[in-house]
Chain A
Amino acid sequence: MTDLAVRLRGKGSALWALVAAVLSVVAICGVFLVAPEDADQGIIQKIFYFHVPIANTSLVAFGVACVAGILALRTRSPRWDEVLTASIGIGLLFAGLTIVSGSIWARASWGHWWRWDDTRLTTYLIIILIYAAFFVLRSSVEADRRARFSAIYAVIAFASVPLSFYAVRIATSFIHPVVFNSHGANLPDSMLVWFIVSQAAMLAVFIAFLLLELTQRRTESSLRRLRLALDA
């Protein structure tokens, strides 16, 4: 049954990788060949089409980790511990890419790599530090309590995600542009459609990475068990 699950997950990750690759190629072609150039920022605005979807996907990854944490606490199944750990790892990868691509965009349009007075940037950095601390703290907890501790941490850490959004809403001054607000998207349809395709591509990349990571973890633990059984 475990072997079948691993095989199905492997096939699932290959399928999602294919979907992600196709969507990414379509998104890049659409962004550079079809989407109109922004009247204000010019070509620099093209960074937006991948910077924002990557940032959103990192938050989705942290959300998945939170849900997996709740399920881990309820079921005590090691499967959910694997999901939350893998999801936080991939979320951090996406968060790192958000910071780097955002810094390049900031340098091009504001002339600075980073602004400490911008609430959205600093709260996002705090989110990254909270999740980066997860792996440090996880490795310092004894093995028998590790899964429970990780689940509680993943649930509590997710509170920082909506907090970041509220901090932006109540901030009186910030330089970071807000494209999506309570009135909807502040974008023409010709740009919005390519933003949606890019977002779908990044979500597909996340799902493919998560399934791939889970398949590997499961296979590695099966190998470890097999090695122990052979040594015995």
Chain B
Amino acid sequence: MSHGTQYVVAAYAVIWFVLMLYVAVVGLRTSRISRELELLARLVERRKADEQAAQAEGQASSSPATRP
């Protein structure tokens, strides 16, 4: 490899490495966000299920058949 070619390769390598690194960082951030979103969705589902269970329990306790 000639003296000049080494510099050209170095310059292009730095440019594309940094741009790809930025894309990788953005990709990592995106996966973190999607993980958090999944967690929140699961939490919402669980809350909804808890609320429904509490509602059903409330209805069951207020119905005449279950009164003493």
A80 located at the interface, meaning its Cβ lies under 8 Å from any Cβ of chain B in the complex: no
Q: Which of B9-68 contact A (CB under 8 A)?
A: 10-12, 14-15, 18-19, 22, 26, 29-30, 33, 36-37, 40, 43-44, 47
A42 located at the interface, meaning its Cβ lies under 8 Å from any Cβ of chain B in the complex: yes
Between A and B, how many residue pairs show CB distances below 8 Å?
A: 65
Known: A97-B18, A108-B4. A50 touches B12 (CB 8 A): yes
Tally of chain B residues near chain A (CB < 8 A): 24
A44 located at the interface, meaning its Cβ lies under 8 Å from any Cβ of chain B in the complex: yes
In whole Å, how far is B40's beta carbon from the nearest beta carbon of chain A? 6
In whole Å, how far is A11's beta carbon from the nearest beta carbon of chain B? 14
Contact of A230 among B29, B37, B47 (CB under 8 A): B47
Q: Provide the residues of chain A in CB contact with B43, threshold 8 Å.
A: 230
Interface flags, A186-197, vs B, CB<8A=1, else 0: 000000000000
Contact of A209 among B22, B37, B40 (CB under 8 A): B22
Tally of chain A residues near chain B (CB < 8 A): 29
A205 located at the interface, meaning its Cβ lies under 8 Å from any Cβ of chain B in the complex: yes
In whole Å, how far is B34's beta carbon from the nearest beta carbon of chain A? 9
Interface flags, A80-95, vs B, CB<8A=1, else 0: 0000000000000100
Interface SS of chain B = helix
Does B7 contact A107, Cβ atoms closer than 8 Å? yes
Contact of A50 among B5, B15, B33 (CB under 8 A): B15
In the assembly, what is the distance between CA of A232 and CA of B17, in Å? Answer: 44
Q: Provide the residues of chain A in CB contact with B22, threshold 8 Å.
A: 93, 209
Q: Provide the residues of chain B in CB contact with A96, threshold 8 Å.
A: 18
* A residues with CB within 8 A of B: 28, 42-44, 46-47, 50-51, 54, 93, 96-97, 100-101, 104-105, 107-108, 205, 209, 212-213, 216, 219-220, 223, 226-227, 230
* B residues with CB within 8 A of A: 2-5, 7-8, 10-12, 14-15, 18-19, 22, 26, 29-30, 33, 36-37, 40, 43-44, 47
The 9 lowest CB-CB distance pairs between A and B, nearest first, are A108-B7, A104-B11, A44-B4, A43-B4, A47-B11, A101-B11, A46-B8, A100-B14, A104-B7
**26 pairs of residues in contact across A and B, judged by CB atoms under 8 Å:** A43-B2, A43-B5, A44-B4, A47-B7, A47-B11, A50-B12, A51-B11, A54-B15, A93-B22, A97-B15, A97-B19, A101-B11, A101-B14, A101-B15, A104-B7, A104-B11, A108-B3, A108-B8, A205-B19, A213-B26, A216-B26, A216-B29, A223-B36, A230-B40, A230-B44, A230-B47
